Amino acid sequence: MSNANWYGVLNANVRYDKRLSIGARFFYAEITANFNENNACVRRECSFEKDLGVSRAQVDKWLKELKDAGYIDYGETTEYGQVIAEVEK
C-alpha cells in the first residue's frame, strides 16, 4: 500500500450519484485517502493499480467517470506522476 491515510472520504454527493459506477464511488474514497493538504494527490505509475489489484484500464475508466461528473480534475504530469485534484463544488 502507498503512503495513504487510514481513511478516505465518500461524501453524499458522490455516494448517491447514479451516473457513477460503484467502483468509481469507491475509487473516489481511495483518491481522498491519498490527498495532501491541497486536496490533490499524485498518481504514481501503477500505484492505484497495484494497491487495489485492478488494471490500469479500470483505474482510467473510474478517473474518467469522476472527471466527467465534475468531482475531480487531472491531467498535469510532474516528474513524480499525474496530479489528481478534487474539484470544489
67 assigned to some structural domain: yes
3 assigned to some structural domain: no
* One-letter-per-residue 3-state SS of 17-85: CCCCCHHHHHHHHHHHHCCCCCCEEEECCCHHHHHHCCCHHHHHHHHHHHHHCCCEEEEEEECCEEEEE
Q: Among 14, 55, 12, which residue's Cα sits nearest to residue 31?
A: 14
Mean pLDDT across 19-39: 91
7 assigned to some structural domain: no
Number of domains in the chain: 1
Between residues 45 and 49, which one has the greater pLDDT? 49
Range of the domain at 76: 12-86
CATH code at position 62:
1.10.10.10
6 assigned to some structural domain: no
The average confidence (pLDDT) of the chain is 85
Model pLDDT, residue 59: 92
